[in-house]
Amino acid sequence: MKQVTIYTDGSSLGNPGSGGWAALLIYQNSHKEIFGYQNNATNNQMELLAAIKALEALKTKCIVNLYTDSIYLKNGITKWIHNWLKNNWQSANKKIVKNQDLWQKLYKLTLKQEINWHWVKAHNGHKYNEKVDYLARNAAENKVNH
């Protein structure tokens, strides 16, 4: 199987407000940047969308190392999701899980790949995390998709 490294980030100017998401996919010496804009979005929605769009970009089953600076994304998909599935998408306090549609889409995509989730500290000088942060903010500010 191919081994792919992915960095993702989401941004929201206003939270909710002008949202941007970005991902950097690295395979061997090849780098692919994808990013997009969404109106009236939260930061968490953009973090989820960045991971979704990155995984959708994969054409075959891969071993993926996915890096995010979002604890919400990492813990949601590696820890909380198990109880959400068991409890019919209700949180521990019996409320419908926020961003359920995005979580469901992400969960389905994770079943198609072998993913190792990693957390990276934001704004800490990590080259690729800084790159996707810039791309996500730029998408939100300039309302661009690529």
- Catalytic residue IDs: 9-10, 47, 69, 123, 133
Q: Which two tokens stand for residue 75?
A: 């813990």
CA torsion, ordered 10, 13, 18, 23, to nearest 10 deg: -20
- Pairing between strand 17-27 and 2-13? antiparallel
Alpha carbon distance 7, 118 (integer Å): 9
Q: Which residue has the tokens 């019996």?
A: 94
β-pairing, 62-68 with 2-13?
parallel
- DSSP annotation of 95 reads P
CA gap 38, 4 in Å, rounded: 26
Positive or negative CA dihedral for 73, 74, 80, 84? positive
